[in-house]
Amino acid sequence: MGKIRISLLAKELGVKSNLLIDKCHEKGLSHITHHANTLISDQAEMIRQLFKPTPPITPAKEEPKVKETPPIRETEQKQGDKTVLQRSGSVKVVQPAKIVMIPKSQPLPQRMVKVAPSKTFWKKKRPSTVVPVKRKEPEVQVTDLQKPVVKEKETRVTMEPPITVKDLSAKLGIRANEIITKLLLGHNVRSTINQILAEDIVQLLGIEYGVEIEIKKKELVEERDFIAEQISTKAEDMVYRAPIVTFLGHVDHGKTSLLDSIRQTNVAAGEVGGITQHIGAYKVETNGKHVVFLDTPGHEAFTAMRARGANITDVVVLVVAADDGVMPQTEEALNHAKAANVPIVVAVNKIDKPDANPLRVKQQLASLELISEEWGGKTQFVETSAVTKKGINTLLERLLLESEILELKANPRNPARGVVLEAHLSEGRGVVANVLIQDGTLRQGDIVLCGKTFGRVRLITTDRGIEVTEAGPTTPVSVSDFSAVPDAGDKFYVVGDIQKAREIAQGRQKKDRESALAKHQHVTLDSLYSKIAEGKVKEIKVILKADYKGSVEVLKKALEELSTQEIKVKILHCGVGGITESDVLLADASDAIVIGFYVTTEDKARILAEDKGVDVRLYKIIYDATNEIKSAMEGMLEPESKEVVLGQVEIRLVYNISKFGNVAGCYVKTGKITRNSSVRLIRNTIIIYDGKLESLKIVKDDVKEVRAGFECGLKIANYDDIKVGDIVEAYEVQKFARSLPV
């Protein structure tokens, strides 16, 4: 009886594996939990029947009837001394021309034409002659479509900073002197006509003049302005692209040996040890398909690139030594991979060692929420050995399977775009950048924009050291030359205009200089409330380091228990030992707070934290750490609202005042009623209306409140249906500070 894998059946049916797994569950096949699970032929046929298409029934459409418009006819009729043009929809009245004779003794009006009798009129004065001018009265066309257009005053305008008094005057149509006077008297701001105003002052002035001013900062020309026009996502142009894989793991667990073993096994002898190490990536072919490996196995480099926005890795291989098990750096690498939100394949390496125990590795990783598919999880485990080459091909097959599930595709017809792996200044070639093309095709002569630099591609070299004229998707190459050395992690794009590339690069340089003066402000315990108020934070991300494993577990549990429905405490990474550069890099990339318990911060990490603006807190008492975060969280909680009844008022008389409405003469039975309190109108124990007071008086005097035992007059805002005997209940909503549960 034949079997078929879920991923292959999904590819056959043209659907997602997750959808296929759901259909299996609907049919009682609960053992199917992963795309690598298999179905027997009968089960597969049953699932195929669910995806058989049914022919759609399309109802016949009636052709819309076109309403014919009668032709416009025009007739001319004589009515006395007037000629009337009649046409469908309008009447045009043409007045006959009038001849006006003006005596010579009277001065010529503005519409008269004075004609000189000779060209030499300036030599000898001659009497001028008056020529009668035919003056036509304006033609009047009577039509219902002509209406006067009244231009409404703008109530919303958009301005770009910097904004001066002169700019504001021109935009609002208000004299500059008036604005300067208002600034001085109303805002205590002395200014001149060319002085740049603060944005909040500009918006306040707009409110005072009844105009909403939207300050829209001029955006730099970025790649999004032209990339969308260049990229084509037509299905017929898309082709399979190789997955990009990064190896992570603990020191001395065999990452480099495993990479070297893969390279020697699957790359021709002429390609071994070439320029691969300098490119930073290389391709491996298996079963007619390719896998691209990044030569940056250290998780610090992995996180540093992710911090720059270069999420280029499709799959992470977590390497764990079978004889050593999960170590602190293994757990740290796992947290980095989870933070990047990419699929993880576990390579249980050094399986050839006598004391290898792969079962212990699976158990340890299961406690870290990385469960093998053999145990009902979704993570693929492969036993490998760099010495005996065991499991190498299986690992490559699993990586290809993951790439099929991800449906990685690219369009070679697009202009190339990708990311810089590393760059340097070569003595013979100038600036050389080692890049990975993610989409499109890079050709010699292309104009490339890369971070704060730009240039024209003059030389393309593959990872094997071979010069080529073009390179397609998912290909690591070395290119030259650029105007300056780009940073690792910078994205590059092919553009059609070198002037545009220069403009964008210079704009980015300017932006970097400005941001150097005002660096990015990370979340701190002091700024947490303002971040929450702005809607920028929904959870507190914490990196936890302590002196002992037991302390880590206790502190982790105590912090996580502080979570509420409104704000969560999420532990991104926890470990034993001092605070390192890797911890600061992860906090910088994830906008987290670093908490250390009975540990110190390394010198390089301290300098890096100050440079990146990462908040590092050190404690010696667990309760100090939990109480400080608890206090910060309590300040972020929305205050609790509670309704308090102030008093009840009985309506005894109703007066109707013209242009004012119904006014109630009342008696305060209990408590009090205030001018600012909310009120309910109650009739026969049923709430008729809930609103606010418009006025509260004793006789003719306005008062702020009236207490029990006194009479008063009141008017309910926007409501007149009041009757004798109704009860007006006064209440207010009070807010109380909340605290976290003990």
Residues 6+ apart with CB under 8 A from 460: 442, 444, 467, 468, 469, 470, 471, 477, 478, 479
Q: Do 568 and 715 fall within a single domain?
A: no
Confirm whether 443 is domain-assigned.
yes
Q: Which residues span the domain enclosing 505?
A: 417-517
Higher confidence at residue 222 or residue 434? 434
Residue 349 labelled as part of a binding site: yes
Residue 296 labelled as part of a binding site: yes
Residues 6+ apart with CB under 8 A from 125: none
The domain boundary, picked from 612, 636, 660, lies at 636
Confirm whether 127 is domain-assigned.
no
Q: Do 394 and 266 fall within a single domain?
A: yes
Confirm whether 84 is domain-assigned.
no
Residue 252 labelled as part of a binding site: yes
Closest C-alpha among 325, 389, 316, 393 to residue 358: 325
Q: Do 532 and 602 fall within a single domain?
A: yes
Higher confidence at residue 709 or residue 114? 709
Angle, CA 696 vertex, CA 695 and CA 702 arms, to 5°: 95
Residues 6+ apart with CB under 8 A from 198: none
Q: Are 323 and 356 in contact (CB under 8 A)?
A: yes
Query: What DSSP element (H or E) covers 115?
Result: strand 113-115
Distance between CA atoms of 212 and 531, rounded to whole angstroms?
26
Residues 6+ apart with CB under 8 A from 321: 250, 252, 253, 254, 349, 350, 353
Confirm whether 253 is domain-assigned.
yes
Distance between CA atoms of 615 and 630, rounded to whole angstroms?
16
Confirm whether 489 is domain-assigned.
yes
Q: Report pLDDT for 349.
A: 92
Residue 250 labelled as part of a binding site: yes
Q: Are 432 and 62 in contact (CB under 8 A)?
A: no
Confirm whether 622 is domain-assigned.
yes
Strands (E), 205-329: 212-215, 239-240, 244-249, 281-286, 289-294, 315-321
Q: Do 175 and 206 fall within a single domain?
A: yes
Question: How far are the Cα atoms of 599, 702, 712 from residue 728, in angstroms, in the given order?
Answer: 64, 18, 12
pLDDT of 728 above 90: yes
Q: What is the tens place of the pLDDT at every residue in 287-328?
A: 778 888 876 555 555 565 555 545 678 888 999 999 889 988
Q: Report pLDDT for 116.
A: 46
Residue 253 labelled as part of a binding site: yes
Confirm whether 145 is domain-assigned.
no
Distance between CA atoms of 652 and 675, rounded to whole angstroms?
19
Q: What share of the chain has pLDDT > 70, as a percent?
A: 73
Q: Do 252 and 363 fall within a single domain?
A: yes
Q: Other CB atoms closer than 10 Å to residue 411's CB: what's the count?
A: 20
Angle, CA 181 vertex, CA 180 and CA 186 arms, to 5°: 105
Q: Do 580 and 644 fall within a single domain?
A: no
Q: What is the tens place of the pLDDT at every residue in 126-177?
A: 444 444 544 544 444 444 444 444 445 567 888 877 788 888 888 888 888 8
Q: Report pLDDT for 101.
A: 54
Residue 145 burial class via C-beta count within 10 angstroms: exposed 0-12, middle 13-18, buried 19 and up:
exposed
Confirm whether 162 is domain-assigned.
yes
What's the half-sphere exposure (Cβ side, CA atoms, 13 Å) at 172?
24
Q: Do 477 and 573 fall within a single domain?
A: no
Residues 6+ apart with CB under 8 A from 197: 163, 164, 165, 168, 183, 189, 191, 205
Q: Report pLDDT for 734.
A: 81
Q: Do 582 and 660 fall within a single domain?
A: no
Q: Report pLDDT for 2.
A: 73
Instruction: Tell me the CATH number at 509.
Output: 2.40.30.10
Higher confidence at residue 185 or residue 304? 185
Q: Report pLDDT for 299.
A: 56
Distance between CA atoms of 648 and 677, rounded to whole angstroms?
12
**Tokens representing 227?**
């990339």
Closest C-alpha among 494, 479, 504 to residue 424: 479
Q: Other CB atoms closer than 10 Å to residue 481's CB: what's the count?
A: 18
Q: At what angle do helices 603-612 and 581-590 cross, to 10 degrees?
A: 20
Residue-averaged pLDDT of the chain: 77
Instruction: Tell me the CATH number at 603.
Output: 3.40.50.10050
Residue 352 labelled as part of a binding site: yes
Angle, CA 649 vertex, CA 645 and CA 652 arms, to 5°: 165
Q: What is the tens place of the pLDDT at every residue in 602-630?
A: 998 999 998 888 889 998 888 788 888 87
pLDDT of 30 above 70: yes
Helix residue ranges per DSSP H, 647-699: none
Q: Other CB atoms closer than 10 Å to residue 607's CB: what's the count?
A: 13
Instruction: Tell me the CATH number at 307.
Output: 3.40.50.300
Residue 297 labelled as part of a binding site: yes
Q: Do 535 and 507 fall within a single domain?
A: no
Distance between CA atoms of 38 and 9, rounded to whole angstroms?
9
Residue 20 burial class via C-beta count within 10 angstroms: exposed 0-12, middle 13-18, buried 19 and up:
buried
Residue 32 burial class via C-beta count within 10 angstroms: exposed 0-12, middle 13-18, buried 19 and up:
buried
Domain count of the fold of the chain: 6
pLDDT of 237 above 60: yes
Residues 6+ apart with CB under 8 A from 686: none
Q: Are 706 and 668 in contact (CB under 8 A)?
A: yes
Residue 251 labelled as part of a binding site: yes
Q: Establish whether the linkage from the previous residue to 481 is cis, with ω within 30° of 0.
A: yes
Distance between CA atoms of 316 and 426, rounded to whole angstroms?
32
Dihedral-angle region of residue 733 (phi above 0 means left; psi in -120 to 50 means alpha; beta otherwise): beta
Q: Do 255 and 399 fall within a single domain?
A: yes
Write down the pTM of the prediction. Answer: 0.48
Q: What is the tens place of the pLDDT at every residue in 54-106?
A: 655 555 544 555 444 455 455 555 555 555 555 544 444 445 545 445 554 44
Distance between CA atoms of 100 and 454, rounded to whole angstroms?
76
Distance between CA atoms of 399 and 384, rounded to whole angstroms?
14
**Tokens representing 317?**
């291989």
Closest C-alpha among 126, 96, 99, 125 to residue 111: 99
Give me the amino acid identity at 594: V
Q: Do 400 and 483 fall within a single domain?
A: no
Residue 389 labelled as part of a binding site: no
Q: Do 580 and 494 fall within a single domain?
A: no
Residue 249 labelled as part of a binding site: yes
The domain boundary, picked from 636, 661, 694, lies at 636
The domain boundary, picked from 407, 428, 445, lies at 407
Average pLDDT over residues 193-210: 82
